[in-house]
């Protein structure tokens, strides 16, 4: 068991959104940054190993369903449930493009390797290619009969491959905008695809629990893995193409394909893993469950030797089939240098300028005009035809080169370290808000990003405010770090068992006492709740004078709106006033959610009763009782409104929440 811990470990788990997380993506180049999307319609950016949010990006009006970094990790694109795509520039922390056209939820997005283009796939069964500079859809690729789960550009940017719930994977040619081949041997929904970084080789994964490898010259099946324990959720090739990593529920495997073999396997508790990325000699895996995100690290330091050993043993067996067992040569741990027999992708960026004639390569990259859906020549000129998908940027509008990320290292607070003390992350991390003044000379010298029209950007929030000089987002190891870069082996500082236990259990007693008391109070509330006496259960939770218990009860009530009535409103409103003034952001959000619910469902009743009070006393007792409850609720709501009026001038996320809540009170006017 100890050996397993040295090979893989859980790096961290934290609350990523105020509501359920719906998607996430790791930085493809470094594996050291992550972006998440949630049902709260927000996109949050994180540094791997840190529990606090770096940036919170807003703009979507429906839950975010898919997020993706570009290869330089300076742009993020997010697709929503409504079919809208938004692109953010992380340096300026602002939206640079909004793309609309899909009719249903976005389930797959990819950036072109070196062009200003984006591909997207949706539950509407269509794949769309977008020209980001002109904000338009160039080509709509139709052919799938069910929702699309994944889209990917080839390394040379000439093809798009899409995986769908119809069990097929389709390869599209951008030159003609037509289908090149249909891979149909999967027996369940295709979940993801990956191109080999160098060879003409495609890997596809599916819920049929297998990974298949395809030759892109002959479109023939090269090999197929044995079924895993569950559907394969994500795959990625080693950066040098030595092997393929496959992530399924609670497991990770390392495959070769000619012949197919499993080099290594790991049993992990990462649940339904959502994305994996290779960073130096480590693999980072990320998964989410409800509002939480978990990150895992797998040590790959032994992998190169392991693959070389497999190759050597296979060659050795082949050379000694007819020989004597006692004469077998010792295994030489030397990586294979065999040149792949397949054609290699050309990943060089084409050299083109507007003043020079197009090369044949560039001309072949222009999609056929007849394949632009519903476009005539005049419409093409208006939108701006895809003059050259591979056109190089000018010196001015090219994004400055990013510094090369250093190898990922576990932070000093490694969960496996004997001196590790876990710090509970904030329930709903508050994004850092900062503003850095920019001088006029800096504005003049600042290079623009991907959109030429956005060349002169206003001073504002910069990513460099959070990560000065692009320093690594994960702490560099110190002399006493548990990770040694030279031999890739965990090393532990000298510490006695008693000291280790004392460090690990620090503050455990007080936290345990708090949680025990909270559980006891909730069990009392649950006793009345189970009997169906909701009013008494709410009254008991209020009388306990414990905001944590009240918040737990409110979370349940907000999910079950049929439990609310005027009695419950009158009991809770005085305490909701205290919640929105709390120093804890999660308490404020729950209080605001409850107030919105009351205004939405009961404001018309309260307003009508206050406008027409009963004339005669003692005649209609039911009406009098209802009027008294409405009057009580109205008084508390007006008191809350006065508190909000002093908070609407606040800045940041909370200021936005208070202003939104203040507008909801217009239903009482």
Instruction: Report the half-sphere exposure of 144 (CA within 13 A, side-chain side).
Output: 31
DSSP 92: T
* Dihedral, 603, 605, 608, 609 alpha carbons, nearest 10: -120
Torsion of CA 89, 91, 92, 95, to 10 degrees: 10
Greater confidence (581 vs 159) lies with: 159
The CA distance from 197 to 279, in Å, is 15
Q: Are 190 and 164 in contact (CB under 8 A)?
A: yes
Give, in order, the Cα–Cα distances in Å from 114 to each of 88, 138, 388, 398, 415: 17, 17, 12, 11, 39
Q: What is the mean pLDDT of residues 555-584?
A: 85
Find the mean pLDDT for residues 476-494: 48
pLDDT score, position 80: 93
Res. 167 pLDDT band, cuts 50 70 90: very high
Closest CA to 241 of 150, 304, 170, 147: 304
Residues whose CB falls within 8 Å of the CB of residue 593, separated by 6 or more in sequence, listed in order: 554, 558
Tokens of residue 361, six digits: 């390569």
Give which of 559, 665, 557, 558 is closest to 603, Cα–Cα: 665
Return the C-alpha torsion angle 270, 274, 275, 276, nearest 10.
Answer: 20
Inter-residue contact 96 to 89 (CB < 8 Å): yes
**Residue 271 per-residue DSSP state:** -
Query: Looking at the predicted structure, is the pLDDT value of residue 632 above 60?
Result: yes
Q: What percent of the chain has pLDDT over 70?
A: 71
Residue that wins the pLDDT comparison between 489 and 517: 517
Query: What's the average model confidence in pLDDT over 321-328?
Result: 41
Element (H, E) at 445: helix 440-445
- Average pLDDT of the residues in 198-226: 93
Separation between Cα atoms, residue 64 and residue 160, nearest integer Å: 23
| The Cα angle at residue 455 between residues 449 and 456, in degrees rounded to 5 | 125
pTM of the model: 0.54
CA–CA dist 469, 400 (Å, integer): 13
Query: What is d(CA 237, CA 204) in angstroms, rounded to the nearest whole number?
Result: 11
Question: What 8-state DSSP symbol labels residue 155?
Answer: T
Q: What is the mean pLDDT of residues 35-50?
A: 92
**DSSP H or E run through 473:** none
The number of angstroms, rounded, from the C-alpha of 18 to the middle of its chain's C-alpha atoms is 14
Closest CA to 168 of 128, 207, 200: 207
Residue 154 vs residues 119, 151, 197, 318, 361: alpha-carbon distances, Å = 11, 10, 9, 35, 16
First to last CA, the chain: 66
Write down the residue that tokens 């619910």 correspond to. 597
Question: Strand, helix or coil at 103?
Answer: coil
Tokens standing for residue 665:
């009170």
pLDDT of residue 208: 93
Q: What is the pLDDT of residue 354?
A: 40
Under 8 Å between Cβ of 412 and 481:
yes
Question: Positive or negative, the Cα torsion across 94, 34, 83, 590?
Answer: negative
Exposure letters 20-59 (e unless 16+ CB within 10 A, then b): ebbbbbbbbbbbbbbbbbbbbbbbbbbbbbbbebbbbbeb
3-state class (DSSP) for residue 394: coil
Task: Judge contact between 57 and 44, C-beta under 8 A.
Answer: yes
Mean pLDDT, residues 578-606 taken together: 86
How far apart CA 273 and CA 270 sit, in angstroms, is 6
pLDDT value, residue 622: 80
> Residue 85: how many CB atoms within 10 A of its CB?
25
Q: Which residues of 126-281 form beta strands (DSSP E)?
A: 127-131, 136-141, 148-153, 159-164, 169-173, 178-183, 190-195, 201-206, 211-215, 221-224, 232-237, 244-248, 251-257, 260-267, 273-279
Mean pLDDT of the chain: 76
Half-sphere exposure of 190 (CA within 13 A, CB side): 28
- Say if residues 5 and 416 touch (Cβ distance below 8 Å): yes
Distance (Å, whole) CA 643 – CA 367 = 59
Q: How many whole angstroms separate alpha carbon 159 and alpha carbon 184?
A: 18
Instruction: Say how far apart CA 263 and CA 606 lie, in whole Å.
Output: 68
Distance CA 315, CA 192 (A): 32
Q: Lowest-confidence range among 107-111, 479-483, 569-573?
A: 479-483
Task: Give me 494's structure tokens.
Answer: 């000298």
Neighbour count for residue 376 (Cβ, 10 Å): 10
pLDDT class of 313 with cuts at 50, 70, 90: low
Tens of pLDDT, residue by residue over 132-152, are: 888 789 999 999 999 999 999
Q: Angle at the Cα of 195 (from 191 to 198), degrees rounded to 5?
A: 165
Identify the residue whose tokens are 């149909």.
Answer: 184
Tell me the C-alpha distance between 566 and 73, whole Å. 51
Write the pLDDT tens digit of every residue in 238-255. 988 889 999 998 899 999
Cβ proximity of 349 and 401 under 8 Å: no
Query: Taking Cα atoms as reference points, which of 24, 65, 59 lies closest to residue 42?
Result: 59
pLDDT at 268 over 50: yes
Angle (CA) 314-317-321 rounded to 5° is: 150
**Is the distance from CB of 91 to CB of 74 less than 8 angstroms?**
yes
Task: State mean pLDDT over 32-52.
Answer: 92
Burial of 122 (0-12, 13-18, 19+ CB in 10 A): buried
pLDDT band at 347 (very low <50, low <70, confident <90, very high): low
Question: Given the structure tokens 């993706």, which residue do they identify?
Answer: 68
C-alpha to C-alpha distance for 101 and 237, rounded to whole angstroms: 32
Closest CA to 189 of 123, 104, 237: 123
Rounded CA separation 549/552 (Å)? 5
């Amino acid at each position: 068991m100890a050996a397993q811990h040295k090979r893989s470990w859980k790096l961290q788990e934290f609350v990523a959104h105020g509501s359920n997380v719906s998607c996430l993506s790791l930085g493809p180049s470094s594996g050291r940054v992550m972006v998440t999307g949630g049902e709260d319609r927000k996109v949050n950016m994180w540094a791997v190993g840190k529990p606090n949010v770096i940036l919170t990006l807003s703009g979507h009006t429906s839950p975010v369903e898919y997020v993706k970094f570009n290869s330089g990790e300076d742009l993020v694109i997010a697709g929503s449930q409504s079919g809208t795509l938004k692109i953010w520039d992380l340096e300026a922390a602002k939206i640079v493009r909004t793309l609309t056209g899909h009719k249903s939820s976005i389930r797959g997005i990819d950036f072109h390797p070196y062009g200003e283009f984006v591909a997207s796939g949706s539950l509407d069964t269509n794949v769309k290619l977008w020209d980001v500079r002109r904000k338009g859809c160039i080509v709509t690729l139709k052919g799938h009969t069910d929702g699309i789960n994944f889209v990917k550009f080839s390394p040379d940017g000439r093809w798009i491959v899409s995986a769908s719930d119809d069990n097929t994977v389709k390869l599209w040619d951008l030159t003609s905008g037509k289908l090149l081949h249909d891979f149909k041997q999967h027996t369940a929904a295709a979940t993801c695809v990956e191109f080999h970084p160098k060879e003409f080789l495609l890997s596809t994964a599916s819920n049929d629990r297998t990974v298949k490898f395809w030759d892109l010259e002959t479109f023939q099946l090269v090999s197929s893995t044995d079924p895993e324990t569950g559907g394969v959720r994500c795959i990625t090739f080693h950066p040098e193409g030595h092997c393929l990593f496959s992530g399924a529920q609670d497991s990770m495997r390392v495959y070769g394909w000619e012949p197919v073999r499993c080099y290594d396997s790991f049993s992990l508790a990462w649940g339904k893993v959502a994305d994996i990325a290779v960073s130096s000699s480590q693999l980072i895996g990320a998964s989410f469950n409800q509002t939480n995100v978990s990150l895992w690290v797998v040590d790959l330091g032994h992998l190169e030797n392991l693959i070389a050993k497999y190759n050597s043993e296979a060659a050795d067996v082949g050379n000694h089939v007819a020989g004597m067992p006692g004469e077998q040569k010792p295994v030489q741990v030397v990586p294979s240098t065999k040149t792949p027999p397949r054609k290699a992708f050309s990943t060089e960026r084409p050299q083109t300028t507007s003043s020079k004639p197009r090369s044949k390569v560039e001309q072949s990259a222009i999609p056929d005009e007849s394949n632009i859906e519903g476009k005539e020549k005049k419409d093409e000129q208006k939108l701006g035809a895809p003059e050259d998908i591979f056109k190089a940027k000018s010196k001015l509008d090219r994004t400055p080169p990013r510094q090369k990320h250093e190898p990922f290292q576990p932070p000093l607070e490694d969960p496996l370290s004997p001196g590790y003390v876990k710090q509970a992350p904030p329930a709903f991390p508050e994004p850092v808000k900062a503003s850095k003044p920019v001088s006029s000379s800096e504005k003049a010298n600042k290079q623009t990003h991907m959109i030429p029209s956005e060349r002169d950007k206003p001073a504002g929030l910069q990513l460099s405010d959070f990560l000065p000089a692009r320093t690594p987002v994960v702490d560099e190891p110190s002399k006493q770090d548990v990770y040694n870069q030279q031999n890739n082996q965990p090393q532990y500082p000298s510490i006695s068992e008693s000291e280790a236990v004392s460090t690990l259990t620090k503050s455990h007693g007080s936290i345990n006492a708090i949680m025990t008391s909270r559980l006891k109070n909730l069990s009392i509330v649950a006793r009345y709740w189970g009997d169906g006496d909701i009013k008494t259960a709410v009254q008991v939770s209020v009388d306990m004078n414990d905001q944590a218990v009240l918040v737990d009860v409110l979370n349940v009530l907000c999910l079950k709106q049929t439990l609310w009535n005027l009695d419950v409103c009158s009991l809770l409103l005085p305490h909701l006033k205290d919640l929105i003034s709390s120093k804890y952001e999660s308490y404020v959000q729950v209080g605001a959610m409850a107030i919105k619910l009351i205004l939405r469902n009961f404001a018309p009743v309260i307003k009508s009763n206050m406008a027409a009070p009963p004339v005669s006393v003692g005649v209609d007792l039911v009406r009098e009782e209802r009027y008294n409850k409405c009057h009580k609720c109205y008084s508390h709501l007006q008191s809350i409104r006065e508190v909000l009026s002093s908070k609407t001038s606040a800045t940041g996320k909370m200021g936005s929440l208070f202003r939104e809540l203040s507008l909801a009170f217009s239903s009482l006017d």
